[in-house]
Structure 1
Amino acid sequence: MRFAGAGDESSKGILDAIRTSGTLAVGIGGFFALLLAARRQRTIELDLKNKIDSLILQERIASDNMSHQERLADSSENDTRLRRATDNYVSGMDQLGSPLPHIRLGGLYALERTAQENPDLRQMVVNVICAFLRTPFIPHPNKVLKLGERRNIREIDDHEKEESAEKLARLAAQEILRDHSNPRDEVRYWGSLTLNLRSAYLVDFDLTGCTVNSMDCSGARFYGLSHFLNCTFHGFCSFYEAHFEDADFEDAKFVDFTYFNDSIFDDRANFKKVRFPKGDVAQFVDVKFYDECLFEGCVSVRPIDFSFSEFHDSVQLPDNVNLEYAQAKNKSIQQSLPRDWQLGEKINEQSSFFPIVKKKRA
């Protein structure tokens, strides 16, 4: 009986050992299976990551290539635009040099279109237009007809027709300067421009409401009525030795030094409510005013200098002026002179002018 029980216990131990070994084997097998599964998962993840990185790299390369192509296209487009602008500019210049007025007119509009599309060329185009206006031109006065008289069309000769065409071209050039100097037209405004109209020949010149940087009209000849109403001049402005027929500067604003010395006004000179806001000197030295001289309501920090000037008709001047050595032809001017000035006696009977002198303080 004891022998049989011992055998049972031994068999039970063997079975337990086998069971334990089997459990360990299954556990180890499961561990290695999990390890293999994890490695396989890791391999799949790495492979997927590599594919994603490869796709990202390909997309980046494609994007860089596309950007490079776009830059090349933009560069090519800019080169094409610049070449086209240069060609149009040169073509406009050639047309402007034509002896035929209608071709010059086409050249002006071609240059205007080029400047509108290419801001960098705007001042250059303005310089060319100003140079065109500096070429000599003297309009003939219209024939005065008697009451009821009609002019025969045959009397209009070729020279007159050519002059009329030339005048149209000049008016177009002036209109281009005006249209692109007006800040109220945001689309067409070319910014504050510099106008070199030195010794130019201008007909019914009009800068009403415009804004310019600096303007040199020294020696310029202004035919007809010249309009500068409500015009602002930001920089140096010279009308030295300019010759006006009828000039209207009402409400104009001169920010910098203003120079009208030795100029001539054949007809009315209207400077009502003109402003010199920063105290810069406004000089009208040795100017000849043959008609009305109107400076009523003019505002200036420093005295406006009219020394050595001649007044042939009525005047309206502010009190803040210098009239030393100025003279007046009409004795009635006495009533409208500034409060500190009066007419003196003629130097001699042959003189046509009364000197303007400062009143003596009591």
Structure 2
Amino acid sequence: MASPVPQPTSREPLQPMPRKVIALVATGIALVTIVLVVVLWWWGTAGLSGKELVTARLDALRTGLSIGIGGGGVFALYLAWRRQHATEVGLVQKELDQADVARAYELQREVAEHNRLHAERVAAATEKDASDRRVTELYTKASEQLGSDKAPVRFAGIYALERLAQDNPEHRQTIVNLLCAYLRMPYPPRGDENDADHRERVQELEVRRTAQHVLSSHLRPAAGVTFWGEAQEVNLNGATLVDVDFSGCHFGEADFGEAVFVGTANFVGAAFTRLASFNRVVFEGFAQFVNVKFDAVFFVNATFHGSNFMNAAFRLAQFDGARFRAAVRAEVAEAHHPRHGGSDRPGDYFNTAHFRELGNFRRASFDAGVDFSDVTGSGLEFGGACFGGVTKFNRTTILAECLVDDGAGQFIHAQVSTGDVATRSTWPENWVVGEDGVITERPVETSASD
């Protein structure tokens, strides 16, 4: 804001003195002087003679002239004062005029600045309105394209949404939501090649692969300027995902509950910064979670057909009721974990994983064997779990409880589903496998060194 302009002190101007008045005053002074001289000349020297008369008349003349000159001087001083006063008033008025000019200039400048700012706001608002209208039109058109019954039009809709999100960061979460909503739509990936809808199903598969690729490619920090941010929330609850590749992706809150993963599910190197839900999810192919970082993750009642959680980091992991069902084909297992071979090859891997707070595997079932070797962290719980195939806990010393209260005051023990795997497995030192295949825990003092 501009500083205030200093205001000079105003002075009241005198009314101009007419020339007639000046002439009359001068004439009056002259007349008074003459009269006074005459009076003093005649009356003041009456009765004198000689030298005294001459002296008295000179004194009378000098006195009268002095009074006249003094009166004229006083009047001249008065005129000089009026002239000085007028000069000072003129200067003050000039300062006032300059102050008025300065105020007028400042006001003009403020008005110009206000108009400029207003014009900028109007221009920005107009530009934003135009941009919003353009975004709305593009969004509406892309959404309509995504709902088309023609695959090429749906392709165009996906790429239009991608371009829209890339150019408008504030709309990225909305675009992510829309892509996820599309992937949540029902889709039967299988069918007979002779079916009438086989061609449409194949085309839809390619469209969905494209949507998966667009979504995953912008959730990777390694993508650089095309990375859409780590806080993106992904809701793929109930979606059917085919050979999905989310490797290296960073998620905010993620919901994959009840999703079906057809083919390989690749989450290698991914990071989940908030809650991740995989409850009741079905992995029909191999699930890769190597080097994944989880905050809190739920795989409650999830179904795996081969999984790899090697070197994964969990703060809190819930695998309550998870089913690790099928053995991995020999060549697949060998490719993912070559140090296991022959009949000792397990179907799922958690070796070198880290559970910072808790890993809950209560009531989980491992049909094809599992490897928990070199696991670190605070604790693992296996109450009510069922182990089949070769199970390994090599060098894993963290708490591995196999008891859980069933809610009715009864403790449920972990158990081995086949008789011969007990001897070929490496159980925690505080577990004892009975002849009936039921696992019980040794006394606390036996496992205290663990």
Q: Which of the five TM-score ranges fits, normalised by the shorter chain? A: 0.7 to 0.9
Distance in 1, matches of 2:111 and 2:99, equals 18
Match of 2:396 in 1: none
Distance in 2, matches of 1:69 and 1:207, equals 47
Find the residue that maps to 2:219 and give its secondary structure.
coil
Distance in 1, matches of 2:362 and 2:207, equals 37
Residues 1:283 and 2:315 aligned together? no
Distance in 1, matches of 2:195 and 2:237, equals 31
Q: 2:233 aligns with which of 183, 194, 197?
A: 194
1:159 Cα deviation (Å)? 7.3
Distance in 1, matches of 2:118 and 2:370, equals 73
Residues 1:335 and 2:375 aligned together? no
1:332 Cα deviation (Å)? 4.8
The answer as to whether partners of 2:388 and 2:421 remain within 8 angstroms in 1 is no
Amino acid paired to 1:299: H
The answer as to whether partners of 1:307 and 1:322 remain within 8 angstroms in 2 is no
Relative distance call for 1:338 and 1:215 in structure 2 (3 A) is: farther
The answer as to whether partners of 1:272 and 1:294 remain within 8 angstroms in 2 is yes
The answer as to whether partners of 1:254 and 1:275 remain within 8 angstroms in 2 is yes
Amino acid paired to 1:73: A
The answer as to whether partners of 2:321 and 2:363 remain within 8 angstroms in 1 is yes
1:191 Cα deviation (Å)? 4.1
Q: 1:39 aligns with which of 79, 89, 93?
A: 89
Matches within 5 A, 1:1-362: 1-139=51-189, 165-183=203-221, 185=224, 188-244=227-283, 245-256=285-296, 258-267=297-306, 269-277=307-315, 280-290=316-326, 291=328, 292-300=347-355, 301-317=357-373, 318=375, 320-323=379-382, 324-330=384-390, 331-332=420-421, 334-341=424-431, 344-345=434-435, 355=437, 357-361=439-443
Amino acid paired to 1:335: S
The answer as to whether partners of 1:181 and 1:192 remain within 8 angstroms in 2 is no
1:293 Cα deviation (Å)? 1.1
Find the residue that maps to 1:41 and give its secondary structure.
helix
Stretches of structure 1 that go unaligned for 5 or more consecutive residues are 142-154, 348-354
TM-score normalised per structure 1: 0.81
Distance in 1, matches of 2:302 and 2:93, equals 95
The answer as to whether partners of 1:315 and 1:336 remain within 8 angstroms in 2 is no
The answer as to whether partners of 1:126 and 1:177 remain within 8 angstroms in 2 is yes
Relative distance call for 1:40 and 1:240 in structure 2 (3 A) is: same
Find the residue that maps to 2:279 and give its secondary structure.
coil
Find the residue that maps to 1:198 and give its secondary structure.
coil
Distance in 1, matches of 2:421 and 2:385, equals 18
1:344 Cα deviation (Å)? 4.9
Aligned length: 337
Distance in 2, matches of 1:293 and 1:341, equals 21
Structure showing greater Rg: 2
1:78 Cα deviation (Å)? 1.9
Find the residue that maps to 2:78 and give its secondary structure.
helix
1:46 Cα deviation (Å)? 2.0
* % same residue: 26
- Please list the CA deviations of residues 221-255 of structure 1 after superposition, one character each: whole Å capped at 9, or x if unmatched: 22333222232223332222322211111222221
Distance in 2, matches of 1:328 and 1:158, equals 43
1:90 Cα deviation (Å)? 1.1
1:211 Cα deviation (Å)? 2.4
- Please list the CA deviations of residues 246-289 of structure 1 after superposition, one character each: whole Å capped at 9, or x if unmatched: 11112222212x2223323223x111122222xx3522424124
Stretches of structure 2 that go unaligned for 5 or more consecutive residues are 1-50, 329-346, 391-419
Distance in 2, matches of 1:339 and 1:95, equals 61
Relative distance call for 1:286 and 1:247 in structure 2 (3 A) is: closer
After superposing the two structures, state which structure 1 stretch, 132-141 or 30-39, moved more: 132-141
Match of 2:28 in 1: none
1:356 Cα deviation (Å)? 5.8
After superposing the two structures, state which structure 1 stretch, 108-117 or 88-97, moved more: 108-117
After superposing the two structures, state which structure 1 stretch, 155-164 or 48-57, moved more: 155-164
1:129 Cα deviation (Å)? 0.7
Cα RMSD between the aligned structures?
3.1
1:27 Cα deviation (Å)? 1.8
Distance in 2, matches of 1:126 and 1:112, equals 9
Amino acid paired to 1:322: E
Find the residue that maps to 1:55 and give its secondary structure.
helix
Relative distance call for 1:205 and 1:71 in structure 2 (3 A) is: same
- Please list the CA deviations of residues 285-325 of structure 1 after superposition, one character each: whole Å capped at 9, or x if unmatched: 24124232111122222243152412314533548433334
